[in-house]
Copies of this chain bind each other. A is one copy, B any other.
Amino acid sequence: MDIEKVNSMDFGEFVDVFGNVIERCPLIAAAVWSQRPFSDVEDLEKHFFAFIDALPQSGQEGILRCHPDLAGRELQRGTLTAESQREQSGAGLTSLGADERLQLAELNAQYRARFGFPFVLAARLSGRAAVPRELARRLHCPPAQELRTALGEVKKIGRLRLADLFGADPARL
């Protein structure tokens, strides 16, 4: 895909392609379409991130709440989005032992109870061993700092998903 093709899309096509760049938030892709034409993928990405940054705190928390737990109930039930399934699988989270799953479930529950949103991490950039370690660490961060950290992870995930769609190396985005 190249940017000329993106700029020629009507909003239906655009939302079909980019609707899950931010997990389960097609509203954001649908809003970003208003900003076309885009000069390149970095410019497109910039508009996704600017929309997130401009939301009130409740909206930013809302984005996080649209994310599934890592190695959680949705993975077990097979109801993840295709992107999340691929990412959790790539990070090795689909092949955890029962003890590791239980440990993560407990940490996820503590995190949700403390912050009011799920633990979000760009799983593809971590190994499966790093997930519970990072979760246990972030569980003790101050809420305002943790909101910023979590939104940073949303953006990393979005950048990787855009790179997949453009067939680009995400390190160069």
Q: List the interface of chain A (C-beta within 8 A of B).
A: 10-12, 15, 24-35, 51, 54-59, 61-66, 112, 116-117
Contact = CB atoms under 8 A, between A and B. Distances in A.
B66 A34 contact: no
Q: Please give the count of copies of this chain that the complex contains.
A: 2
B51 A34 contact: no
B28 A65 contact: no
Contacts of A12: 65
Contacts of A59: 27, 31, 51
Given A33-B65, A35-B58, 18 more contacts: A11-B65, A11-B112, A11-B116, A11-B117, A15-B65, A24-B27, A25-B26, A27-B62, A28-B62, A30-B61, A30-B65, A30-B66, A31-B55, A31-B61, A31-B62, A33-B116, A34-B61, A51-B56
A125 to B, nearest CB: 24
Contacts of A51: 56, 58-59
Which of A25, A27, A51 is most buried by chain B, counting CB atoms within 10 A of its CB? A27
Contacts of A62: 27-34
A26 B24 contact: yes
Given A35-B58, A65-B11, A112-B10, A27 B30 contact: no
A114 to B, nearest CB: 13
Nearest to A15: B65
Of all A-B residue pairs in the complex, the 10 with the closest CB atoms, nearest first, are: A31-B62, A30-B62, A30-B65, A34-B58, A31-B58, A31-B59, A27-B62, A11-B65, A25-B27, A27-B27
Contacts of A30: 61-66
A148 to B, nearest CB: 16
